[in-house]
């Protein structure tokens, strides 16, 4: 028996400590033993002696002093990520094993375009590769007119809601934030045409593309509204074309941002995360998006952590280069965690990789991330 997962005994409550299954309360020269924990933790929570993971994240978002810096990690789960029951188990097991402070749903990375007609080969994902689109419904410019709104009550979109529903049921009582992964409409649209959306714009199909984006955004907004109504604490909103390596600012200003904002406005969550994917992100365009948390490939893309914190006014959820975990670069991980805490002062910070950790996962390296985080935060914030 132990303090339930999702709760912390606050270190600044000097009178309290955990001893096996008991909470020891120091009272001058004597001690009062509260046991078992489950019979007493509700009262301790009421008195502010213990804090849930949700309370920890809310405190970080508000800029309040906290006992320790929260952290998170996530991955894809190839082979099972289109099976709601199996992916739920994998997600819960990951949460319990690594004790992350916020859970990002580990959805299939292509789910947003499946119901629009995309076909995908996932065979390379298990060995560290990426999914490959084998068929796209948009082959010609005129095909954009065929892209219509799809139902969120069937197909892949329904499947991902079933995953979330089961996940929330399994986590009942855990008091940990869950953010549901959603994709920007232009990200989905680009997958519908095999990555050629900018070519179609140049060929003069902009009007038809805008019509298609309207339908995709409407579908995505309905999904986001639904999942936050179901109990997700927010969304993890992934944009994959909002970098200078992938498109231009003019393109994203016209074909990306307006539809992004429509989706973000649909969220009823308190913890919405913007994921700015890739190298050389369009920071000026993204920094004022209406989200509470900013996630990007820090150390792979500018700005620095300190600049991002100062200029967004948001909580950063990043600081670790994901490929350093995959490639066993322990010294690099150490330095990234050190610099992330140093540059932000440990405020408005959730330490995390800038993106999904690739398969195959190395359990020793994943455990190393938290071990070093604890060591460095103690040294810097003592």
Q: What is the largest CA-CA distance in the chain?
A: 82
How far apart CA 168 and CA 371 sit, in angstroms, is: 28
Please say whether the beta carbons of 334 and 275 come within 8 A. no
Residue with tokens 């993890």: 236
Residue identified by tokens 């913007």 is: 274
Predicted TM-score (pTM) of the model is: 0.89
**Using an 8 Å Cβ cutoff, are 344 and 310 in contact?**
no
End-to-end CA distance of the chain: 30
Task: State pLDDT tens for residues 165-205.
Answer: 999 999 999 999 999 999 999 999 999 999 999 999 999 99
List the domain boundaries for the chain: 1-48, 51-381
pLDDT tens-digit profile of 259-313?
Answer: 999 999 999 999 999 999 999 999 999 999 999 999 999 999 999 999 999 999 9
The pLDDT assigned to 305 comes to 98
Position of tokens 């103690």? 378
C-alpha atoms less than 13 angstroms from C-alpha of 325 in its C-beta half-sphere: 29
Question: What is the domain class of 51-381 according to CATH?
Answer: alpha beta
pLDDT of 46 higher than 60 = no
How confident is the model over 93-151, as pLDDT tens digits? 999 999 999 999 999 999 999 999 999 988 887 777 777 889 999 999 999 999 999 99
Q: Which run of H or E residues covers position 382? A: none
């Amino acid at each position: 028996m132990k303090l339930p997962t999702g709760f912390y005994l606050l270190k600044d409550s000097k009178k309290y400590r955990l001893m096996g299954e008991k909470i020891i309360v120091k009272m001058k020269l004597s001690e009062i033993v509260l046991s078992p924990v489950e019979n007493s933790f509700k009262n301790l929570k009421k008195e502010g002696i213990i804090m849930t993971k949700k309370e920890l994240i809310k405190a970080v978002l508000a800029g309040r002093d906290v006992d320790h810096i929260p952290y998170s990690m996530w991955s894809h789960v190839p082979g099972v990520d289109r099976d709601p029951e199996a992916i739920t188990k994998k997600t819960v097991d990951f949460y319990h094993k690594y004790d992350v402070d916020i859970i990002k749903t580990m959805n299939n990375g292509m789910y947003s375009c499946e119901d629009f007609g995309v076909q995908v080969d996932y065979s390379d994902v298990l060995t560290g590769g990426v999914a490959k689109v084998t068929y796209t419904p948009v082959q010609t410019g005129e095909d954009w007119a065929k892209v219509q709104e799809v139902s969120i009550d069937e197909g892949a979109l329904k499947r991902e809601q079933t995953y979330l529903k089961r996940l929330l049921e399994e986590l009942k009582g855990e008091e940990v934030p869950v953010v549901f992964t959603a994709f920007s409409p232009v990200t989905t649209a680009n997958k519908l045409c095999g990555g050629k959306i900018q070519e179609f714009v140049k060929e003069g199909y902009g009007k038809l593309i805008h019509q298609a984006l309207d339908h995709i955004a409407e579908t995505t907004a309905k999904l986001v509204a639904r999942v936050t109504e179901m109990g997700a604490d927010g969304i993890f909103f992934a944009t994959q074309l909002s970098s200078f390596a992938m498109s231009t600012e003019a393109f994203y200003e016209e074909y990306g941002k307006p539809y992004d904002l429509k989706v973000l406005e649909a969220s009823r969550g308190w913890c919405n995360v913007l994921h700015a994917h890739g190298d050389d992100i369009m920071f000026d365009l993204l920094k004022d998006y209406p989200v509470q948390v900013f996630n990007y490939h820090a150390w792979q893309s500018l700005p620095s952590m300190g600049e991002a914190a100062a200029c967004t006014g948001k909580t950063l959820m990043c600081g670790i280069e994901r490929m350093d975990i995959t490639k066993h670069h322990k010294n690099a991980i150490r330095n990234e965690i050190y610099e992330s805490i140093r540059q932000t002062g440990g405020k408005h910070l959730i330490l995390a990789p800038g993106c999904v950790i690739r398969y195959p996962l190395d359990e020793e390296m994943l455990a190393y991330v938290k071990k070093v985080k604890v060591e460095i935060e103690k040294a810097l914030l003592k």
